[in-house]
Amino acid sequence: MSIRTVEQLSDKLSADLAWRKKELSEIKSLVEAKNVSDQRHKVLVRSGVCILYSHWEGFVKLAANSYLEYVRLRRLTYNQLSSNFLALAMKEKLKEAKETNKPSLYIPVCDFFLSELDQRCILPKDAISTASNLSSEILKEITDILGIDFSLYSTKSQLIDTKLLKTRNEIAHGNYLVFDREEYIELHREVIAMLDIFRDQIANAAIEKKFMRNSP
């Protein structure tokens, strides 16, 4: 379904986050169970970390691209876009010119900025990528492009890069890694909190029209 209203965007984010939270809650319950062997517990924790990461990356990517679709379907002109979305719209034009040694290819780009900003914008579909490794650096790039505040995650960089991403990579690549119950439960709590924050930031950005140059 196309995302044409704030309500549709909010509903999509809420529905997607709800099933992710339900699955993560089931995993957490298994990890917290006392009547399992030590070996089974280790398997559950290792599996749980991978699933935590997959939902973290999956939701950020879906929410970001859902917001992008909402903005794309607003049918705005280029000069109505905030600078971050204008940069995204212009990415391909600038990339084509940059990849050659011909200064003449910059002329159409200059002409565009001089006389064509009143045209209806063309934003790419599903342009937000996590590169299958959602580090704090990539998250900052995503928040910059979306025009939302990264500072809410700035104190979480070590958690994102080490406890979540690095641990997931180690496990996914077949390495043996011990991660205890308490560490997992704390990581679960932190990831759920970040998912809620990201969902709220996207919803609020749409409501407040942060995608527009002269937003309130």
Q: Which tens digits make up the pLDDT trace of 49-71? A: 999 999 999 999 999 999 999 99
Sign of CA dihedral 170, 172, 174, 178: positive
Q: Which tens digits make up the pLDDT trace of 22-50? A: 999 999 999 888 887 888 888 888 899 99
The torsion angles phi and psi of 158, rounded to 5 degrees, stand at -65, -40
User: Which pLDDT does position 89 carry in this prediction?
Assistant: 86
Q: What is the DSSP letter of 157?
A: H
> What's the CA gap between 88 and 71, in Å, rounded?
12
> What's the CA gap between 83 and 106, in Å, rounded?
19
Which sequence spans correspond to the domains of the chain? 6-207
Residue type, 69: E
- Residue numbers in the chain where pLDDT is lower than 70: 1, 92, 96-97, 99, 101, 215-216
Q: Which tens digits make up the pLDDT trace of 92-101? A: 677 766 767 6
